[in-house]
Amino acid sequence: MEPSTRHDAIVALLRREARDGVVSFARLVELALYAPGLGYYSSDRVRVGKTSGTDFTTAAALGPMFGQLITGAANSLVGNLKSHALVEVGAEPGQTHYAGVASHFAEIRTFRFGSVPEFPARSVLVANELLDAQPFHRFLRQGAAWRELGVRVDSAELTVEPLTDYSTPLAAAFARSLPAAEEGWIIDAPLAAEELLSKLLSGGWAGAVVLLDYGKTVAQCLESSPAGTARAYRGHQLSGAILESLGSQDLTCHVLWDRLELILVKAGFSNVQLDRQEAFFVKYAGTEMERIAMSGDPEATGRLRALTHPAHFGAKFQVLHGIRP
């Protein structure tokens, strides 16, 4: 489907459900990412990698090495991996980075975007850039208050404007929790990611959670991101044109780590920590890193450097992790 056709079809869906011609920003992002047959993550095309036609690269795209390092880290966190299932949530099409380590776990369970994961009694949940791929709300500081932003969809061009009221009770509660900021400041809040994480941690299963993503705390957003953190990715190009090419580009924003940490703690996880990706692998998969570094394989050592060096994935991404006995 041509990008323009996909975009127009999503806008038509939004117009049918808009109240007074306006929808919440979160609803627009939700349909742009997940509308059946139209949304960015609803297609089976390869999005991750460095080949033609891909849009972005993640740590998992480096192949089996990612699976080896995650296995080493999981062993450090819970031990006795044979009694645990590795549950990957948010897997991209065609990625097989855990195939070579399947024998270390009781089983491997892989769930694509939009599917409903099932957790055995003892599990290690791994999600690589799952939470930043969820719908997000936008809030604007205006007139000494935080107002939720929406999008007008009943005109020739999509335009942003404040909603007359908050779209959901969760959005209202988030706005009330925010401190004051300068007039015109914007903060993006992936509240759907918080709801998803709460669901994933329900059910009482024991084990560990490993969440790899990029994010900031609320305070950091209000210190250094006056225009918010929302952006679009397409063809490995970063763009602020988040209302264009709906369905044909990734829409994302930084997760809010301090709010996600609270969810883990409330769900009964202990030793909850947030590390830069490089520090996480050094602390918990050091043996695997040493083995790869000493292998004498230039390609393998190059991939390891890309995964952990601060100039590459090492500092750009963080890892939130914890254990639940």
* Residue 207 CB contacts under 8 Å (≥ 6 apart), including other chains: 78, 84, 122, 123, 124, 125, 323, 324
Question: Considering the entire predicted model, what is its pTM?
Answer: 0.91
DSSP string, 161-196: EE-SS-SSHHHHHHHHHPPP--TT-EEEE-HHHHHH
pLDDT tens, the chain, 325 aa long: 888 999 999 999 999 999 899 999 999 999 999 999 999 988 776 666 566 666 566 666 667 888 999 999 999 999 999 999 999 998 877 777 888 999 999 999 999 877 889 999 999 999 999 999 999 999 999 999 999 999 999 999 999 999 999 999 999 999 999 999 999 999 999 999 999 999 999 999 999 999 999 999 999 999 999 999 999 988 767 889 999 999 999 999 999 999 999 999 999 999 999 999 999 999 999 998 888 888 878 877 777 777 776 665 545 899 999 999 9
| CATH classification of the domain holding 109 | 3.40.50.12710
The boundaries of the domain holding residue 227 are 3-324
Residue 307 is predicted with a pLDDT of: 73
The Cα 51–Cα 54 span in angstroms is 6
Residue 268 is predicted with a pLDDT of: 98
Instruction: Tell me how many domains the chain contains.
Output: 1
Residue 231 pairs in a beta bridge with 252
Burial of 173 (0-12, 13-18, 19+ CB in 10 A): exposed
